[in-house]
Structures are given as structure tokens and as C-alpha cells.
Structure 1
Amino acid sequence: MTPRAILTPRTEPVGTDGFTLRERSWKREADKHVAALNALLAERGAPIRFAFPAPVAVPFEGPGPDEAYAGAAPLDDELADVLALSTALLQAARAGTDDVADERELLLRRAALLDRLALAAPHDATAQSRAIREAHILMTFDVVHHCGRGPFAADSIEADGAGGPRAYVRQEYAAWHTPIAPGEGI
């Protein structure tokens, strides 16, 4: 009688579908969970559906800082403009005449300012985290209000990866800084 070989992930036979028996059982369980989740989402009227395995996004680079901030005001002038926008928006909110476009411009310019400050101090962890936080605030605003002019939406899978939030800010700043051609944006 020959001793029975112990199966390990390296010695387990692979089937014609490319999965081992263990992997196939894991995939079956994952498919059940995904089906249950999609049924729940359909019941609630959600427009999204999940797939297993999840799609892998191409890293979202967006425009580089030099391209995105070409022609931008110097940092101290930009800071003064952001403070003036904040004051004007606060006064408009008190008067009840605030506007979504003005609020988005403030969030965009504030996120771009913090991104530029973080680029100027690459080893400052606080500056990096503040830039990411402001980018997430802008992205959340854009998802809620269906804003954004760049090729990637704030809720796209490309903008969700590492570096995606700040790349999204650069994309939107470059689009905001570029004038809209006649006939566009109507």
C-alpha cells in the first residue's frame, strides 16, 4: 500500500477550467454571494451590479501637475482667491442665494491648492493627507451633484485607486481652467 500524497496548493491538480478543486469551490461560494448581493441591489432599485472577479482598473494618472496647473496663479494669489471665494460663498449662503457652481469652484480650487502645496512638500505627510482629503471632498460633491468635466467621473473605478483622487483634482482643474468651446456644455 502506497502512502497517500498530501495535496497542497502547489501539488493540487488543476482542472480544464484552470482552477483547482479548492479554488472552484471558493469561486462557487463567491458567485452565490455576488448573486445574492445583486438581487438585493435590484430589489432596492440600485443601478449598479457586481461581478466576480471584480474588474481591474487601469491606473488613473490624469494630467501631470505641470500640465494641469499650467497658467495657474502663484500659490499665494491662489490662496487669496480661495479665501475670497470662501467669504463670498458664506455671504451668499447667509443671504440664501448660494449656488452649486460657486460651491464646486471653491471645492475644486481648494483641492487644487492643497494638491499644489503637497507637491511642493513631498515628504510632508500632513500635506499629503490634507490633499487627499480635499480631493475626496471634491469627488463626493461631484458624485452627489453630477458635476465634472473630465473624461473620468468621480465615481469611476479609475479614480478609486492609489493616486486617483489627486489625479481627479488635476483632471478637473485642467478642465475648469480650459475655457468651454462654443456649443459645448449646454
Structure 2
Amino acid sequence: MNERMWAVDIEGNGKTPPEIVEIAIVELRGLERTGLRRNWRLRPPSGIAPMASRIHGIWDRDVADAPDLEDVADDILVWLEGAPIVGHNVRVELEVLGRALDEWSPASAYDTLKLARAMLPDAPKHGLEALGARLGLDVQAASETGSTAHSALYDATLSAILLKYLLQPLSAEERRRRLAEIDLLEPPPQGQLI
């Protein structure tokens, strides 16, 4: 399995529907992070709700001079083009990016939350940060991005680390089967109940 994938995370403005405040993309080849990554902070048209700012730490003043989504959409599309995406509760990224980038459609969308729930059913919590702490994941590597928990780059990096942790011990055939089960763009394999 040497497939190129992008771990993706988005932070929103806390409004409905959410607008993108930050997006991060981390490249994977197989299960290994290549070191290639990119993130953008954006100025959402309707500002950031204080509740959202308290979670991700990005306030209106932090993005006052940031570009609008339209200014960087082509760049984001170049990065995302043709590769599967990975994320923790990646359904959010699919919905927000699908609404924001009309031309975009990923090859697949692998959900590490769905994978963690299937492979770690007894875990008390399946949130990304809780799993990172419980499993002793290399949170330091996510921290070395220069960002903190709940920032897009940190969460995208930790999602990539979680994917590797859960899939690395499996055979290549079992990895393919597990990825097919957590691909939100494919119907579930025969006989599997969701």
C-alpha cells in the first residue's frame, strides 16, 4: 500500500453553515507522513463566533489580513486534486469543502473516527485528542507543526498518526478491507452493517 493520501482538517467560524477559517493538508505515502504539508488561514465573510474562537484559538483579528477563500481556492484544489483524503470525522471536511469548492471531489474519504470506533470499541472516548493521549500517539510530532490541539495543522497531523497506528499492524489485504469500510464515498462492503 503506497497510495498517496492527504490528511485534511478544517476549522470553521462556528456558524451555520460553517465557513472555513483554517484548512491544513498533510501528505501521506502509504501510512508515512512525507513532510509535505500546507495550511491556510482564511477570512470568513461573516466573521468568527467567539465560541469557535475559544476552541481553535483563531479570532477575527488573527485573520483580518488573511485572504478570502476565493483568493486561494485554486491553490487548495491543486493540493487536493485526485488523492483520497483522511480525517477524524472527515464527513465535516467533505461537507464544508464540497460546499466551498464546487469543482472538488476526492477519490475517497477515509474516516479515522469510524476506524477507531470499529477497532477500539472499548475506548471510553473516540475524540482525536482523547485517542492521542490514550494510545500514547506521537503528539509531539503534531506539536512540532508549531500549532496546538484544535488547530487544523495539528489535527490533520494527529489524524495521519492515528491512521498509521491503527493500520500498520495489519496485513496489506486487511488494510485495504479496513479502508474500504471507512470510505465515506463508497457503499459499505457486502454484509457489513453500519
User: Which is strand-richer, 1 or 2?
Assistant: 2
TM over 0.5: no
TM-score range, shorter chain: under 0.3
Q: Which has the larger radius of gyration?
A: 1
For normalisation by structure 1, the TM-score amounts to: 0.26
User: Which is helix-richer, 1 or 2?
Assistant: 1
For normalisation by structure 2, the TM-score amounts to: 0.25
